[in-house]
Structure 1
Amino acid sequence: ANKVRQSVGIEPELVVREGKPTDEIHKLIEDDQDIAILVLAAGAGKEGPGPLVSAVAGRGAAFPIPVTVVPQNLSDEEIDSLA
């Protein structure tokens, strides 16, 4: 969170909800029009990207905003070069 504040001047927001993660993320996006993109970190292990990334990918176009999945094995420099 501190890195985001320093590099782009945006204050990250922590939101805790109960329920099915993909449903709650979708509701949050609908409720908060300031959310413009969903960024998820994906695991790089043989277990796959992780349950949240898999569930979100399964919903496909169901999200009204772009969804970006960042692989775990990218360095900060590689991520910066994509931005």
Structure 2
Amino acid sequence: MRKFLVIVDDTPECEVALVYAGRRAERTGSSVIALCIAATSEFQHWLGVENLMREEAEAEAQEMLDRVLAKVADRMPDDPERKVVIGHRVDGIRQAIADNPEIVVLVLGAASGSEGPGPLVSAIAGGQSGGYPIPITIVPGGLTEEQIEAIV
């Protein structure tokens, strides 16, 4: 089954990207993967401390998935698959795509403020966009439900 990968964080544009991907998946017979990337420090002096830090980072990522997915649940046709990756955001996205050949589109939400599209969109859509093996859809964070319906 084809899957749309959406990066989950605490931004409003993430919610718009999830709704867009959910509607698009519904119309194309696909599904959605909600990916949260938990960053950890490079602290590796003591294995026990590193393991504890990884566990805490994963728990925080699961809580973020719970929080964000609860906000959009009534606007999504189906519950997305949930995935947590520990590490650097761009590397985590690449790894998720490499691990799952059913992922066919990466969906990102762009911030609608004057400060730019956001660090993730800037990093991925900038010089690295050609390095992804799948298309990248950037959804404007200010889209309304009606606008999403009109374009999916």
TM-score range, shorter chain: 0.7 to 0.9
Q: Give the secondary-structure state (helix, strand or coil) at the position aligned to 1:17.
A: strand
Instruction: Tell me which moved more, 56-65 or 11-20.
Output: 11-20
CA distance in 2, matches of 1:48, 1:63: 22
Task: Tell me the TM-score normalised to structure 2 length.
Answer: 0.48
Partner SS state of residue 84, structure 2:
coil
CA deviation profile, 1:42-65 (whole Å, cap 9, x unmatched): 101111111111111121111111
Aligned pairs (5 A) from 1:1-83: 1=69, 2=73, 3-4=75-76, 6=77, 9=78, 11-58=79-126, 59-83=128-152
Secondary structure in 1 matching 2:103: coil
Which sections of structure 2, spanning at least 5 residues, go unmatched? 1-68
Unaligned runs of at least 5 residues, structure 1: none
AA aligned to 1:16 is V
**Displacement after TM superposition at 1:35 (Å):** 1.0
User: 1:72: Cα distance to partner?
Assistant: 1.0
Q: List, as ranges, runs of 4+ consecutive aligned residues in structure 1 with deviation greater than 6 Å.
A: none
Aligned length: 79
Q: Percent same amino acid at aligned positions?
A: 43
Deviation of 1:14 (Å): 2.0
Q: Which amino acid aligns with 1:69?
A: I
Tell me, in whole angstroms, the C-alpha distance in 2 between the residues paired with 1:73 and 1:21: 23
How big is the shift at 1:37? 0.7
Q: Which amino acid aligns with 1:65?
A: I
